[in-house]
Amino acid sequence: MPRRWMAFTKWITPGIGVKRWLLLLAIGNLLLALGLALIIAELNADVQSTSNPWTDAVLEVTGGAILILLALVMLARSILAPYRTHEQSGVLDVMYAHSRRQRGIKVVAIGGGTGLPSVLRALKPYTSNITAVVTVADDGGSSGRLRRELGVLPPGDLRNNIAALADDENLMTQLFQHRFNAGDLGGHAFGNLFISAMAAVTGSLEEALIETERVLNIQGRVLPATMHEVALSAHVRLPGQASPVVIEGESNISSAGGKIEKVFLKPDQVEAYSESIQSILDADVVVIGPGSLYTSILPNLLINGIAEALRATSAFRIYVCNVATQPGETDDYTVADHVMALENHIGRGVIQAVLANNVYPTLNAGVNTRYVRPAPAHHEIFQRYDVRYTDLTDPERPWRHDPGKLAVAIFNLTEEEKIGGLMKPIFSEAVKPV
């Protein structure tokens, strides 16, 4: 049977909700044609009819137009229904939101851990042109086990950020984040297993991420900082010791219980993923952080080529400082301490602005929360960076960033920055938060 005939028979299959509206469309076209023909005939007639054909013509044209409009609306609803199973809004609302995000700015967010997903959730309502550049130095938990047993790059941070760009209410997203709690799979997240399996099936992590993003229909992209295996080590000064010791492994650094003086990669000259470099060079805005300073942010910036791309890009570069200090990593750190740690590792010229929290709620904070305090007055960072303070705390978990507050803060900070030498808002009116 010819392919075209098979396609035609599918359109007329009973129960798909199309034939009735096609018939209504045909009737509407017929009425419209009859009405227009009657009008043309009356205009060209030598002798005007004694009856009133204009009334019949207007009724036929109006009725035909109404039937055509109704048929087109119902056809569109029937055809689009399978593609919007999980959408709660109407077709027009979905189209408008999609169009608005497509016109959004190009944003690159760099980091890992639990901090970077906050940035992605903050920005995805305003633009779909988001690229997350994620660390692959994790060696603990499910990611570490898969890394050791299967030889894959750790998928955990990649998974969390893919989920952050997906629909949180989507069942597939919830399945992706599901973590097994018993048996041989205990501790593994389903998404980690999925990405690892997809890498084996497709032959590369790059293809695995593309297919995973397609399955979850995410707004944006998630890229590894490098495609090469890399390990994180640190010089840590332990209590009571005069000189620092070397701690190997990302998961061991913060648990060592000392003061981190320097982190470094092994191998130290691993090349960055080319797509990650290009995304930075093409960006309008680059957001670095929030996240664990030494184990989520710096492992990206130490990759060969990342810091150089940040210096070369014309994008506006913002460092989002953590709301709270991290035990074993940034104890008693101020905003200035965070910024100086970045400078000590990658030098100056990488960031232009610093966004930090200045509200320290006690409600829901718990006894273990220690907030990052402002930089001391007249500190040298104020001479090199535009330092902005605002309330960034999540009311329920005040040690974390609230995505809504973070989006507004980034918007306010970047609204009047230069792009291409012209002063214009980076976020257009079409995507301004309301």
CB 426 within 8 A of CB 414: yes
282 vs 20, which has greater pLDDT?
Answer: 282
- pLDDT over 80 at 423, yes or no: no
Query: Taking the mean position of all CA atoms in its chain, how far away is CA 177?
Result: 16
Position 320 scores a pLDDT of 97
Average pLDDT over residues 4-10: 60
pLDDT digits (tens, 9 = 90+) for 31-48: 888 888 888 877 776 655
CB 356 within 8 A of CB 321: yes
- Give the side-chain half-sphere CA count within 13 A for 371: 19
DSSP 8-class letter at 203? S
Residues of the chain with pLDDT > 70, as a percent, come to 83
Rounded to an integer, what distance in angstroms lies between the CA atom of residue 187 and that of residue 189? 7
Distances (CA, A) of 373 to 329, 332, 360, 397: 15, 8, 9, 18
CATH no. for 98-431: 3.40.50.10680
Helix spans in 351-394 (H): 381-384
DSSP 8-class letter at 108? E
Q: Does residue 2 have a cis peptide bond before it, meaning omega lies within 30 degrees of 0? A: no
Count of other CB atoms within 10 angstroms of residue 16: 13
pLDDT digits (tens, 9 = 90+) for 204-245: 888 999 888 888 888 889 999 999 999 999 999 998 888 899
Host H or E run for residue 92: helix 91-102
- pLDDT over 70 at 383, yes or no: yes
pLDDT digits (tens, 9 = 90+) for 246-255: 999 888 998 8
Strands 422-423 and 418-419: antiparallel
Average pLDDT over residues 275-284: 96
Average pLDDT over residues 72-78: 77
State the pLDDT confidence band at 384, using cuts at 50, 70 and 90.
very high
What is the token pair recorded at 78? 């029937």
CB 280 within 8 A of CB 130: no
Average pLDDT over residues 88-98: 49
Which residues fall within 8 angstroms of residue 271, CB to CB, at 6 or more apart? 226, 228, 303, 304, 305
Distances (CA, A) of 53 to 27, 29, 68, 419: 20, 19, 22, 63
CB 116 within 8 A of CB 134: yes
- pLDDT over 50 at 9, yes or no: yes
- pLDDT over 70 at 315, yes or no: yes
Position 103 scores a pLDDT of 57
pLDDT digits (tens, 9 = 90+) for 114-144: 889 989 988 988 888 999 999 998 887 888 8
pLDDT digits (tens, 9 = 90+) for 54-65: 777 788 888 888
Position 419 scores a pLDDT of 42
Of 290, 379, 293, residue with least CA distance to 336: 379
Distances (CA, A) of 187 to 180, 208, 321: 6, 22, 30
26 vs 388, which has greater pLDDT?
Answer: 388
Distances (CA, A) of 357 to 160, 350, 360, 374: 24, 21, 8, 8
- pLDDT over 60 at 154, yes or no: yes
CB 420 within 8 A of CB 386: no
Rounded to an integer, what distance in angstroms lies between the CA atom of residue 146 and that of residue 196? 8
Average pLDDT over residues 264-291: 94
Position 432 scores a pLDDT of 44
What is the token pair recorded at 148? 């050791």
- pLDDT over 50 at 377, yes or no: yes
Average pLDDT in the chain? 84
- Which of 8-12, 251-255, 257-261, 384-388 ranks highest by mean pLDDT? 384-388
Average pLDDT over residues 341-345: 96
